């Protein structure tokens, strides 16, 4: 009998991983050994795994550098319009494998390391995640960078180089415990410090109105030191830049007045300035009005705008001095996209530069700002909207407060002219909210200061126009657009699920990787026995691999033939992990009632981080782990139901669990999840979705056919109607016996025998003030889960639905999303053209 293929041999057969040419492999080995030698020559003789990882990373990086330099040279010569994507978060994950995929080096590197007696997957596991984001918003920015490079756009991601990213989550005795994410501990081979582009950023001080104009004086200065990370496009030889700023105290910091506290203290106080880039705020969809956060927001904006204007002035342009210094041409050469309101200060800061420093008159400057800036809204949850106290601004950014007041004065004057006498409208639309504490509404500032405002899925963009920003839509309907989110098929298919990528390529070729609409061609294979078999086989292999991973890292044994039912996302009441919990308890109770019935076995996995200050979210995690302790240790249940909390969910864990999932849980209350992007990743990787008509689920159902998803629950209209008449949880509790039983078990301490009161806060919330109406969707959810069970018993029909889903994924490529931003907001034209590689003649 033939020996089963090793992992390495199996990987070698996957053509989407690139060609392993003999010369290529030989060169890689030579360069690997050179890098290893330089690593070791410094201090040691024995190489560690980490030394091998760094040698491989540096070898791959060598392939980027020539392309990077050439791309930037190409932009300098052609002088295209440039787009600047400003975001407080870039959730990048690991870089090594993604770089190999985009450069077509994966098989060559695999072969080279294999010939050197190393296992490439082991080396990849040494890399730390760049966890500079909380969830969807930060990961979207990362997918967008990949697509912008793959579409040949002259694009730059600008953000903060946090020393500590999103915390690592440990589960200890069922509770979440946070630990600092010291991701730079061993150094980062992918970044290059650029001290020559260091920029000063000013805080505090006071404003002087003089005859020569306005001056902001007596400020405290912090230096912004840029670190550049290359962003390679998919096999087009383009390498763009992500530039992240790190805070540095200036040399003279605190020393001018060091008689106060002395020299040593003055040097120690440098930390205060450098704290600006110390740590990512770990809130997802929640606003916490802390001064340090406002400093971070201004820091990234002020440093970035200096860079943008320097690059605008230095570019070759028409190269006559006059044109180069004419800032009115800026909107023809510069687009700035604001990823949520976090970089909203770009609007007043650009005004400050144009008016105070470049001496333009207000109207001219304002026209430039509006034509340059565009704003993406990511949420309608009121607690997530940024509203900064005016006194914080007065102290930290006094000139920006004056500018915002002037923007608001002119804005309100315009409204008065359009709607004379409508004082309530003026109050609603003002950038300044009156109250006990006067606050600046940053979303209003973004809308007024941008030429385009977009939501991130069709339903979300409609909700924005009809509710939260209705007044602004009535005034300026032409500003409002939709740009449904997408994901990069490079990381989220080719890289994380090469087996599936390959069986697709065998049927329709490899071009779909840069043109995901081609997946439609798979509809020709929906009834193809061989293809059905191949898709099911890949899923089974992925499940076995993930089961082995769980056993190795968490010591849990699971049944790989059970349905893998997965809900991974940040823990939040609106995402309704509690609804999932109620289904688990109901299913458990049914097995206990009829232990001899043929149940469809399930492994239910829930994962995600809770913001450290979000008590309810932490209690939800505690409930999930408590339910798991009971269910997993009940001999009557056996391996028909297992509940696993996936610890420390992050990009790298997503890349492992998503390809293994059978069922994707997307169960937010209709109207609360702006888009979701995890939903798209599961769909592309061959899971079926159980979900509400919320966010992008609506468009997924439209693309794949609603009959190929498990849709349940209230629609947005139903939720609105219920808000009008009032939601009465107790009525559901009394009417539905299985719901009552589950709730009674939670509140009586069935899942917390040592502490019967443990979950009383959760129970009280669900019964008396549940904004997200969990009980209202319970019945339909349970019925829908029964349909899931029935279909799973028929693997062939299940897999046919899977194929319909994969075939409907084309729309959800971030390449499509970015092409729409480029054409409809930035005024740029995407291109699939390759530029010459560094080793080609020019």
Report, as residue numbers or ranges, the catalytic residues: 378, 569-570, 575, 677, 681
Calculate the alpha carbon distances from 234 to 99, 515, 520 in Å: 9, 11, 21
Q: Which of 256, 298, 255, 262 is nearest to 277 (CA)?
A: 298
Identify whether the C-beta of residue 150 lies closer than 8 Å to the C-beta of residue 233. yes
The sign one gets for the Cα dihedral 256, 257, 261, 265 is negative
221 touches 250 (CB < 8 A): yes
Strand partners, 642: 603
Tell me how far apart the alpha carbons of residues 720 and 350 are, in angstroms, rounded to a whole number.
40
SS3 content of the chain, % helix, strand, coil (to 5): 55, 15, 30
Buried b (16+ CB within 10 A) or exposed e, 565-583: bbbbbbbbbbbbbbbbbbb
Residue 79: strand pairing partners: none
**Residue 312 in 3-state DSSP?**
helix
Distance, in Å, from the CA atom of 652 to the CA atom of 521, rounded to the nearest integer, reads: 30
- The first and second tokens of residue 525, run together, are 């294979």
Q: Any idea which residue has 């790989």 for tokens?
A: 560
SS3 79: coil
Integer Cα distance of 185 and 28 in angstroms: 27
C-alpha closest to that of 685 among 545, 522, 494? 494
For residues 82 and 154, the answer to whether their CB atoms sit within 8 Å is yes
- Distance from C-alpha of 534 to C-alpha of 404, rounded to nearest angstrom: 59
Count CB-CB contacts under 10 A for residue 7. 12
What are the structure tokens assigned to 543, written together? 């499940």
Cα separation of 214 and 608, whole Å? 49
Give the 3-state secondary structure of residue 85.
Answer: strand
d(CA 784, CA 691): 9
The DSSP annotation for 671-720 comes to TT-S--SHHHHHHHTT-EEEE-S-TTHHHHHHHH-GGGSEE-S--HHHHH
Contact 446, 341 (CB under 8 A): yes
Is the C-alpha dihedral spanning 407, 410, 415, 416 positive or negative? positive
Residue whose C-alpha is closest to residue 87's, from 296, 278, 362, 368: 296
Count the Cβ atoms, other than its own, within 10 Å of residue 761.
Answer: 12
Residue for token pair 């950014």: 397
């Amino acid at each position: 009998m033939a020996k089963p293929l090793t992992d390495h041999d199996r990987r070698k057969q996957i053509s989407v991983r690139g060609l392993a040419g003999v010369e290529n492999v030989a060169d890689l080995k030579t360069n690997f050994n050179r890098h290893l030698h330089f690593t070791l020559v410094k201090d040691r003789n024995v190489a560690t795994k980490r030394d091998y990882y760094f040698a491989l990373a540096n070898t791959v990086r060598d392939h980027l550098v020539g392309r990077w330099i050439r791309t930037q040279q190409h932009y300098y010569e052609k002088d295209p319009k440039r787009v600047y994507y400003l975001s407080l978060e870039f959730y990048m994950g690991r870089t090594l494998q993604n770089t190999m995929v985009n450069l077509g080096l994966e098989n060559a590197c695999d072969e080279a390391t294999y010939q050197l007696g190393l296992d490439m997957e082991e080396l990849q596991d040494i890399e730390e995640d760049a966890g500079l984001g909380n969830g969807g918003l930060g990961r979207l920015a990362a997918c967008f960078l990949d697509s912008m490079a793959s579409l040949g756009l002259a694009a730059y991601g600008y953000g903060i180089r946090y020393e500590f990213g999103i915390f690592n989550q440990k589960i200890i005795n069922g509770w979440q415990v946070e630990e600092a994410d010291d991701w730079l501990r061993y150094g980062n081979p992918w970044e290059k410090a650029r001290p020559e582009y260091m920029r000063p950023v000013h805080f505090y001080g006071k404003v002087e109105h003089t005859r020569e104009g306005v001056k902001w004086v007596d400020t405290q200065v912090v230096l912004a030191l840029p670190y550049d990370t290359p962003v390679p496009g998919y096999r087009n030889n383009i390498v763009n830049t992500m530039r992240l700023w790190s805070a540095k105290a200036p040399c003279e910091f605190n020393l001018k007045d060091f008689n106060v506290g002395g020299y040593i203290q003055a040097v120690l106080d440098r930390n205060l300035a450098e704290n600006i880039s110390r740590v990512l705020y770990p809130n997802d969809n929640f606003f916490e009005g802390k001064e340090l956060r406002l400093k971070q927001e201004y820091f990234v904006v002020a440093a970035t705008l200096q860079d943008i204007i320097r690059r605008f002035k230095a570019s070759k342009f028409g190269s006559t001095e006059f044109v180069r210094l004419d800032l009115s041409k800026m909107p023809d050469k510069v687009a700035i996209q604001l990823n949520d309101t976090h970089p909203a200060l770009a609007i007043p800061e650009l005004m400050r530069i144009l008016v105070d420093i470049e001496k333009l008159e207000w109207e001219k400057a304002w026209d430039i700002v509006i034509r340059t800036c565009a704003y993406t809204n990511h949420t309608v949850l009121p607690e997530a909207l940024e509203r900064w106290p005016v006194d914080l601004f007065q102290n930290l950014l006094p000139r920006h407060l004056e500018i915002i007041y002037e923007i608001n004065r002119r804005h309100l004057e315009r409204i008065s002219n359009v709607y004379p006498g409508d004082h309530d409208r003026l109050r609603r639309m003002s950038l300044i909210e009156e109250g006990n504490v006067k606050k600046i509404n940053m979303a209003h500032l973004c809308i007024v200061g941008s030429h385009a405002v977009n939501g991130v899925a069709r339903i979300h963009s409609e909700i924005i126009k009809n509710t939260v920003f209705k007044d602004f839509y009535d005034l300026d309907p032409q500003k409002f657009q939709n740009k449904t989110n997408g994901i990069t098929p490079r990381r989220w298919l080719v890289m994380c699920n090469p087996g599936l990528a390959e069986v697709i390529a065998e049927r329709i070729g490899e071009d779909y990787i840069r043109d995901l609409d081609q997946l439609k061609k798979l509809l020709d294979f929906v009834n193809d026995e061989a293809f059905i078999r191949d898709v099911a086989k890949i899923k089974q292999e992925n499940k076995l691999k993930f089961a082995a991973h769980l056993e190795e890292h968490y010591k849990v044994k699971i049944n790989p033939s059970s349905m893998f039912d997965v809900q991974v996302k940040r823990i939040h009441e609106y995402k309704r992990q509690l609804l999932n919990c109620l289904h688990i308890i109901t299913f458990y109770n049914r097995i206990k009632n009829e232990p001899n019935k043929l149940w469809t076995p399930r492994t239910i996995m829930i994962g995600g981080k809770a913001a450290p200050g979000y008590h309810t979210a932490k209690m939800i995690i505690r409930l999930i782990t408590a339910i798991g302790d009971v269910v997993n240790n009940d001999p009557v249940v056996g391996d028909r139901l297992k509940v696993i909390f996936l610890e420390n969910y992050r990009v790298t864990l997503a890349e492992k669990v998503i390809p293994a999932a059978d069922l994707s849980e997307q169960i937010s209350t209709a109207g609360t999840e702006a888009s979701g992007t995890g939903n798209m990743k599961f769909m592309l990787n061959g899971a079926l979705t159980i979900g509400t008509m919320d966010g992008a689920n609506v468009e997924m159902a439209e693309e794949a056919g609603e009959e190929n998803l498990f849709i349940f629950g209230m629609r947005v209209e139903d939720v609105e109607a219920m808000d009008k008449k009032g939601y009465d949880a107790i009525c559901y509790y009394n009417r539905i016996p299985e719901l009552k039983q589950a709730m009674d078990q939670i509140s009586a301490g069935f899942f917390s025998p040592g502490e019967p009161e443990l979950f009383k806060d959760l129970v009280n919330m669900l019964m008396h003030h549940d904004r997200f109406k969990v009980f209202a969707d319970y019945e339909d959810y349970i019925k829908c889960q029964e349909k899931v069970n029935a279909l799973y018993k028929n693997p062939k029909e299940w897999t046919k639905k899977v194929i319909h889903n994969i075939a409907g994924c084309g729309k959800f490529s971030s390449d499509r999303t970015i092409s729409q931003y480029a054409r409809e907001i930035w005024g740029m034209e995407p291109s699939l053209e390759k530029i010459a590689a560094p080793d080609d003649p020019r």
